[in-house]
Structure formats: structure tokens, C-alpha cells
Amino acid sequence: MSLASVIRAEQKLLLPTYDRQKVLFTRGRGVYLSDSRGKRYLDFLSGIGVNALGHAHPAIQKVLKQQAGKLIHTSNLFYHEYQAELAKRLTRISGLDRAFFCNSGTEAWEGALKLARAYARVNNNNGHKAKWRLLALENSFHGRTFGSLATTGQEKYRHPFTPLVPGVNFVAFNDLADLKRQFDGSVCAVCLETIQGEGGIKPVSREFLELARELTDKSGALLMLDEIQCGLGRTGKYYAYQHYGITPDIVTVAKPLAAGLPLGALLTTDRVASGMHPGMHGTTFGGGPLACAVAIEFLRVLDSLLGHVRKLGQYFVEELQNLQSQHPPIQEVRGMGLMLAIELDSADTAKSVVNELLQQGILINRTHDTVLRFLPPYIAEKKHVDELIRALGRSLGRKNNHREHSGTQRKHREAHAAKHGIFPTQNNEGSTPIAKSNTHN
Ligand code: PLP
């Protein structure tokens, strides 16, 4: 099938939810994808953080083939060999006690929201008053189903579907005073991404997370962390909260968990799990033998990759900072491990860079209009980072030249020089943490 015929068929047959790039991928191996014309692409997006082991990883292929020949689905009415084993591994690396498996990120977050409400209902320490409010963060993203949407602090996603689930209030990102102001005994959970992903790769500050932990501990509310994008090795630790030395009551994971198969999970403590009883929550497909067997293998491989993710992430961020010192459109470098981003000064520039890189066979994506997001597979190497940096440099160089000609460059350069000095430092006072300050603990 050709790209043109697929586009025509999809236009006629699919719900118009996606504005896809015009590429038809047919194969993947390692950090590269190939399209229907045989063109190769360096994959620095990993299917939005899913293909953490790249494509066609031999260990994953082996387990996939073996398990597909044995048993694919049982439903959750019966036992199979792998849920308990996977839960054992996930709880061991998280400091939590129990797991619930599902099929996607949003489903994991829905389960977490339901658990928070269910737990508060039987453990209400707010006198006779209700304890059901959820505090979420502005600029957050938790998924597309109603509960997840209700806790997603971005109007563009929420607006077409209101009214949403009631009882949610939004706190300004990293604003300690606002959190204190909005928190009281009626809150059953504080909900946040340890690093906002879709919101532009913004790590929550240590002070904010510590305050959220302190307030929830005191009042018997839960701290719920969404690590669907930043968890499971992406930052060089199993969970991003481990950089902060804080353990949540519930954490959700998904994207890389089954190396490309749909699988999500929520992890929680024995205490919080007591809020659930048989029949209160469930799923037909979630935690099936195929996905769980693959996830166990993913975690086994991950153990040997964490150090590499940290090292490569450090190299990558330094290269991005070098780039920033040469290219005024780069406003900030952010992120941790292999979850990195650069913020540009215009949406047009960001869009054009993504398109130029695609033409050159490099996949990245743009989030929040002006942010270039990098989520390479954990198996990427220095030479792949170098390839991306060279392409980014070329593309931004062309933009500089263009601005030079159009006369806006001098102003930008002067502002850039004032901000950075001769040896630029890239982080403004009061901005969100960058990878340099990764060493949170
Ligand atoms: N939470 C976070 C932090 C995410 O990044 C995403 C997806 O990008 C989701 C939830 C939703 O996950 P899914 O698309 O698998 O439902």
C-alpha cells in the first residue's frame, strides 16, 4: 500500500482525531525506523516514550514469540503466571506494595482517581464533611478519558467535553502559596506529573513536591504521581520521584512498560489498596499474559540500562546547552535523563525545525507549540545524539540567517548576549529545573 492510498482511505474511514505527519512506517530496528519508500529515520521520539528499547529488540521479540505461541489472553476471571511476577518487580523498584494492571496511561490514571475517592470514602478524617476534592496542576496532562481530562489542567483539551467530573481544582505550577491556599481537609488527593510531559517537559520543583507530601501526610490525603511518561527509567532512575527522595501513595506507569504492547499499571500501598474490593474496578484486557510476560522482560533489560540513560542524558543536555549558546531562538533547555526539551522563541520556528528534521530523516516532536521534545530510546548512543545535534544546529542556523536578513537578528543577539554573557549559562533565575540540577538527591 502506498502512503497516498493509506491517506485517502483514512480520510474516508477514520474519526478525524489525528493530524498525522505524511510518513508511512513499515519497519523498525534499533533506533531507526524505515518508511514505505525505504527512507531511514533516527527515532528520537520512541512512539512518544513507548519504544524505550527501540524497535525489534531481540530479547523482546523472543519473549513475544514464545508467549504468543502459548497464551495471549485469559481475562481477569482466572489466574495466569505473570501478573504476580510483574507486580513483584514493579513494587520492588517503587517502594510500593500492590499493583493493578490495565491497558493504557489514561486507564491507569482513571483507576488511581477512583482509588483515591474510594479510599477517602472509608477513611474520612474530615469530620462529617466530604473528603473528595482532587487538586491537580495547571498545564498538566493525564489522558483523554473523562476523569483524566477532568484533572488535565489545559483548557484546549477540556473545553469541548464539559461538564467534566466534578470536584477538581487546579493549582498553579510549582506555586507553593497557591497549593497551601487551596489545600484543606476536603482534599482526597494531590495529583501531579513528576515531570510534566505534554506540558513542555517541566519538572516539578523539589519544594513543591515536598510541600505536597507534607500536606497530604498531615491530612490523610493521598499524593498521586503520574509517571506514565517520565517513569520506568526515562530519567535514569526507575521512577522520577526517586530523584526527589519522596515516595507517593499511588504512582501510575504505562508507556514503556510492555515495550510497545498496550499495558498500564497503578502501584500503591497496602493501606490505600484497602479502599478496593472485588467488583469495584476491573478490565477485560488489562494485564493479559502476553503483555505481562513482555513487561517482565522489559524490566529485566532496564536494570542494565539505567546507568547508560543517566550518562547519555548528561551528554545530551550538555550538547543542547552548547547549542543554546550559539542559537538565540533557544530560550531554555529542560528535563532529566532522556526526557529533554528545548523551548524556542516562536511556534513557527519550532514547527519548521520539526519538519526540516523529518525531511532529513530524524523524528522529534513539538509540544506546547514552542517546545521541541526529545524522548529517544534508552538504547540510543552518543553518535545518535551527535546526529540529532548536528541536524538541529543546521536547521537553527538557517533560521538565524533568515532572521539576519530580515533584520530581527541584531535585537535577538543583543538580548541573547545580555542573558548569557560570553560563556552562556542557560537557566534563568526562577525557571523550572534543568537537567544540570538533575542530582536531586
Ligand atoms: N499521563 C501522562 C503524563 C501522559 O504523558 C499520557 C500520554 O501522553 C497519559 C497520561 C495518557 O496516556 P495514554 O495516551 O496511554 O492514555
Residue of minimum CA distance from atom 10 in ligand 1:
142
Ligand 1, pocket-test mutation among 113, 228, 367, most atoms within 8 A of CB: 228
pLDDT tens-place string over residues 32-50: 999 999 999 999 999 999 9
Residue of minimum CA distance from atom 13 in ligand 1:
105
Cα 49 to ligand 1 centre (Å): 10
> Does the beta carbon of 229 sit less than 6 angstroms from any atom of ligand 1?
yes
- Return the higher-pLDDT residue of 410 and 226: 226
Cα 143 to ligand 1 centre (Å): 5
Answer whether 303's CB lies under 8 Å from 288's CB.
Answer: no
Cα 96 to ligand 1 centre (Å): 21
Q: Is the dihedral of CA 349, 350, 355, 356 positive or negative?
A: positive
Answer whether 227's CB lies under 8 Å from 196's CB.
Answer: no
Calculate mean pLDDT across residues 103-114: 98
Q: Cell 523550572 belongs to which residue? A: 432
Q: Which amino acid is at 237?
A: K
Cα 228 to ligand 1 centre (Å): 6
Calculate mean pLDDT across residues 336-345: 98
- Secondary structure (H, E, C), the chain: CCHHHHHHHHHHHCCCCCCCCCCCEEEEEECEEEECCCCEEEECCHHHHCCCCCECCHHHHHHHHHHHHHCCCCCCCCCCCCHHHHHHHHHHHHCCCEEEEECCHHHHHHHHHHHHHHHHHHCCCCCCCCCCEEEEEECCCCCCCHHHHHCCECHHHHHHHCCCCCCEEEECCCCHHHHHHHCCCCEEEEEEECEECCCCCEECCHHHHHHHHHHHHHHCCEEEEECCCCCCCCCCCCCHHHHCCCCCCEEEECCCCEECECCEEEEECHHHHCCCCCCCCCCCCCCCHHHHHHHHHHHHHHHCCHHHHHHHHHHHHHHHHHHHHHCCCEEEEEEECCEEEEEECCHHHHHHHHHHHHHCCEECEEECCCEEEECCCCCCCHHHHHHHHHHHHHHHHHHHHHHHHHCCHHHHHHHHHHHHCCCCCCCCCCCCCCHHHHCCC
Q: Terminus-to-terminus CA distance in the chain, angstroms? A: 52
pLDDT tens-place string over residues 319-331: 999 999 999 999 9
Domain boundaries, the chain: 21-52+306-438, 59-303
Per CATH, 21-52+306-438 and 59-303 having the same topology is answered: no
Q: Which atom of ligand 1 is nearest to the CA of 144?
A: 16
Confidence of residue 410 (pLDDT cuts 50, 70, 90): low
Cα 108 to ligand 1 centre (Å): 9
Ligand 1, pocket-test mutation among 198, 368, 373, most atoms within 8 A of CB: 198
- Return the higher-pLDDT residue of 298 and 398: 298
**Does the pLDDT at position 425 exceed 90?**
no
Q: What is the pLDDT of residue 417?
A: 54
Confidence of residue 429 (pLDDT cuts 50, 70, 90): very low
**Does the pLDDT at position 437 exceed 50?**
no
Cα 48 to ligand 1 centre (Å): 9
Cα 227 to ligand 1 centre (Å): 9
Which residues, other chains included, contact 272 with Cβ-Cβ below 8 Å and sequence gap of 6+? 115, 119, 222, 249, 250
> Does the beta carbon of 196 sit less than 6 angstroms from any atom of ligand 1?
no
Q: Give the strands of the sheet with 330-336, arranged side by side.
A: 330-336, 339-344, 371-374, 365-367
Let me know if 61 is exposed, middle or buried by CB neighbors in 10 A (0-12, 13-18, 19+).
middle
> Does the beta carbon of 141 sit less than 6 angstroms from any atom of ligand 1?
yes
Question: What is d(CA 114, CA 281) in angstroms, rounded to the nearest whole number?
Answer: 8
Question: What is d(CA 258, CA 244) in angstroms, rounded to the nearest whole number?
Answer: 26
- Grid coordinates of 191: 495529583
**Does the pLDDT at position 125 exceed 90?**
no
> Does the beta carbon of 193 sit less than 6 angstroms from any atom of ligand 1?
yes
Question: What is d(CA 219, CA 182) in angstroms, rounded to the nearest whole number?
Answer: 13
Q: Which atom of ligand 1 is nearest to the CA of 229?
A: 5
Cα 106 to ligand 1 centre (Å): 6
Question: What is d(CA 108, CA 102) in angstroms, rounded to the nearest whole number?
Answer: 6
- Grid coordinates of 224: 498521586
* Phi then psi dihedrals of residue 395, to 5 deg: -65, -45
Q: Which residues pair with 27 in a beta bridge?
A: 34
% of residues, the chain, pLDDT over 90 = 88
Calculate mean pLDDT across residues 349-372: 97
**Does the pLDDT at position 271 exceed 90?**
yes
Q: What is the pLDDT of residue 416?
A: 59
> Does the beta carbon of 142 sit less than 6 angstroms from any atom of ligand 1?
yes
Confidence of residue 71 (pLDDT cuts 50, 70, 90): very high
**Does the pLDDT at position 430 exceed 80?**
no
Ligand 1, pocket-test mutation among 46, 142, 157, 368, most atoms within 8 A of CB: 142
Q: What is the pLDDT of residue 144?
A: 98
Which residues, other chains included, contact 2 with Cβ-Cβ below 8 Å and sequence gap of 6+? 24, 36
21-52+306-438 CATH, one of 3.30.930.10, 3.90.1150.10, 2.30.30.100, 3.20.20.140: 3.90.1150.10
Q: Cell 520512541 belongs to which residue? A: 46
Q: What is the pLDDT of residue 405?
A: 73
CATH architecture of the region 59-303: 3-Layer(aba) Sandwich (3.40)
Q: Which atom of ligand 1 is nearest to the CA of 264?
A: 15
Q: Is the dihedral of CA 279, 284, 287, 293 positive or negative?
A: positive
Confidence of residue 400 (pLDDT cuts 50, 70, 90): confident
Question: What is d(CA 174, CA 260) in angstroms, rounded to the nearest whole number?
Answer: 32
Cα 148 to ligand 1 centre (Å): 9
Q: What is the mean pLDDT of the chain?
A: 93
**Which of 178, 269, 173, 175 lies closest to 220, judged by CA?**
269
**Does the pLDDT at position 269 exceed 50?**
yes
